[in-house]
A and B are shown apart, each in its own frame.
Chain A
C-alpha cells in the first residue's frame, strides 16, 4: 500500500531516521562501542567531530554517541509501550462507547473529556510524583519503578486522546449500511466490531498514534527535565536535564539530545500527517 519510492523526499528521510532510531533502540547494546557509563578521564568536554568521539563527550567524560544511543533505547521503549497500551485500552473503550451508545457512551465520553481537560504534563507529573517516590525520602527509587510509573502515567494521558479518535471513527462507520447488512446476515456485535469496525477504524488510529508518539517523547523528556522522569541521563530527557548544567561551557551536551528528540518528533509528525492524508484519499475513493 505504501511504497517507499512513492513517498516524498522529506518523508523518506523521516522514515529513514525513525528506522535508525528503531535500530538504536533494538540493537544499541550490541554495537561495538563502549558502554555509555564508561568515563573517558582524558577527554572531558570534547566538542563534536573529535577523533574517537564523533559527538564529543560531556564534562564528566561520558561519550555522547554512546549516551544518546542508550537514551534512544529508553525514550523509544517508553514511547512505544505507552502508545501501544494507550492505543489498545483507548480504542477498546472508544469503540465500545460508540458501538453501545447510551449510558455507556455518556460515562466514557465524559471520562475522556475530563482526562483531556487536565493538561497532559500536569497529569503525568502528578501521577509520577505520587507513584514514583518513597515515603522515606532517603531511600532511592529503583529505575525500573520510575520506568513503569512513567509508562503508566503516559498511558493514562494517551487513553482519552486515542479513545476519542476511536469513538469518533466508530460512530461514523457503525452508522454505515454494511454494519446493518452484517447484522442482517446474523453476525454478533463482537464479530461486527472485529471484522467490520476495527479494520476501518485502525488506519485513523495508526495515523494518530504516530502523532501521539511525538507527544509522548516530548512529555517523557519534559518530566525527566523536571526531575521526575528517568534520572542521570538514562533517556534523552535525562541527558537534556544533565546537559543544561554545562550550557555555558559545553553547549553541545545539551544540543545533541535535543536535536535527536526534535528530529524524531518531526519525523513521527510527518509520517502521521502523510498517513492521514493517504487514508483520507482512500476514503474519498471508496
Chain B
C-alpha cells in the first residue's frame, strides 16, 4: 500500500512574544492512497496547524516549519511556493472549519466556485460557470442556478458548507483535508455533510484527512485514526483496531469521556482532569503524564519514543495499555 501523503518528523513553531510556541512537534504520519484518515484531539492539540503546515498554507515570518512532507512523490518542503501552488486544487484541497468566514462576503457564490476552475484548469468563464452549477448539484444544493447568483449571507450554514465542499472538489483533488467541516453546523446537517463527503470520496476516489474532535464521526467515516495530543501524534492505527485495542492511555481516557447509552443514570461522565501542557514550555517527559492514571516516574522525566507494533499500530507511550508492566 503506497502512501499519498507522508509527513516525516514535521514540527511547527510560532515565534511569539512569550517565546517559541511549539504547535506541532515531530509528527510522523502516512496517509495511504484512497483511504480516509481521521485526526482527533482536544482543542489546541495541533490538528488544524498540522494540516495547514502539511499543505504549506501557514504564512508569515513568525512561522517555522521543519521536517519533510512528501505528497504524491513531490517533496513539498523542498519545493518553491510557486511549485507547491501548482498542486493546490488538483492535488490537495481543503475544506475549512467555519463556512461563515471561509467565503468572501462580497462576492457571488458563482464567482467563488468557478474561480478555482478558471485558475487551475484554465476554463473559460462560461464553461467554469456551467461546471460550477454541476458541482453545486453534485453537493446536492437545490436550485443551483439561483445559488450561483446569490451572496454567502443569503445561504444557510449547511448550504455554505456544501458550497465550500464544491469549491474544494472542483478540480478533482487527490487528497482532501476536511478541517472540522461539521463543527459549525447542527447535528442533523452534520450527518448530511458527512454522508455527502463519504459518497463524494468514493465517487471521486479521493483520499481524505478528516479533522474532528468527535470520536463518533471518526468511527463512522474513517479507515485510520491519528490521535493528537499536545502537538504530537500519540497513536495511529486502523480505526477498528484503535477502538477495540487502544494502546495509548490518552485514547482510552478520550473514549471513556464519551457519554454512553448504557451508562447508569446518575453516574457522572468521566472527564480527563487537568489540561494541555503549555505549548511554549513543554514538559521534559510525556505531555500527558500529569493527567495519566498509569503514569510512572519515568513518564515525567523521559519523553516517550514512537513504538510500532508488528501490525503497524503506532503509539507514543512508555507503558502502553495491554502490555505487561
Contacts and interface: CB of A to CB of B under 8 A. Distances in A.
Interface stretch (B104-112, B136-144, B230-238): B104-112
Interface in B98-133: 98, 101-107, 111, 115-116, 119-120
B89 A178 contact: no
A101 B104 contact: no
B265 interface: no
Contacts of A183: 57, 59, 88
A270 B284 CA distance: 62
Contact of B104 (A102, A178, A191, A283): A178
Most chain A Cβ neighbours within 10 Å, of B52, B88, B92 = B88
Interface residues of B, number: 35
B86 interface: yes
Contact of A186 (B60, B104, B116): B116
Contact of B153 (A101, A177, A181, A285): A285
Contacts of A186: 85-89, 116, 119-120
Interface in A180-195: 180-188, 191, 195
A286 interface: yes
A102 B97 CA distance: 28
A176 interface: yes
A196 interface: yes
B93 A185 contact: yes
A185 B88 contact: yes
A286 B116 CA distance: 23
Nearest to A198: B106
A182 B103 CA distance: 9
Interface string A92-111: 00000000011000000000
| Interface class of chain A by DSSP | helix
B61 A102 contact: yes
B147 interface: no
Given A184-B55, A184-B57, A178 B103 contact: yes
B61 A187 contact: no
B216 to A, nearest CB: 25
Contacts of A187: 115, 119
Interface residues of A, number: 22
B49 to A, nearest CB: 12
A185 B96 CA distance: 12
A279 B59 CA distance: 29
A245 B61 CA distance: 61
Contacts of A120: none
A31 B98 CA distance: 58
Most chain B Cβ neighbours within 10 Å, of A176, A178, A184, A285 = A184
B104 A199 contact: yes
Contacts of B88: 183-186
Nearest to B99: A177
A177 B119 contact: no
A200 B106 contact: yes
Contacts of A181: 94, 96, 102-103, 164, 167
Contacts of B85: 186, 188
Given A185-B89, A186-B89, A199-B106, A180 B96 contact: yes
Given A178-B103, A185-B167, A200-B106, A101 B94 contact: no
B43 to A, nearest CB: 17
B279 interface: no
Most chain B Cβ neighbours within 10 Å, of A178, A185, A187, A195 = A185
A178 B101 contact: yes
Most chain B Cβ neighbours within 10 Å, of A186, A187, A188, A191 = A186
Contact of A176 (B55, B94, B101): B101
A191 B94 contact: no
Interface in B272-295: none
Contact of B102 (A177, A188, A195): A177
Interface in A58-101: 101
B120 A185 contact: yes
Interface in B187-227: none
B152 interface: yes
Contact of A200 (B92, B104, B167): B104
B116 A177 contact: no
B285 to A, nearest CB: 35
Interface of B: 52, 55, 57, 59-61, 85-89, 92-94, 96-98, 101-107, 111, 115-116, 119-120, 152-153, 164, 167, 170-171
Interface of A: 101-102, 176-178, 180-188, 191, 195-196, 199-200, 283, 285-286
Given A183-B57, A200-B105, 9 more contacts: A178-B101, A178-B103, A181-B96, A185-B89, A185-B119, A185-B171, A187-B115, A195-B111, A200-B106
24 contacts: A101-B60, A101-B61, A177-B97, A177-B101, A180-B52, A180-B57, A180-B102, A181-B96, A181-B103, A183-B88, A184-B57, A184-B89, A184-B94, A185-B115, A185-B171, A186-B86, A186-B116, A187-B115, A195-B111, A196-B107, A199-B104, A200-B106, A283-B105, A285-B153
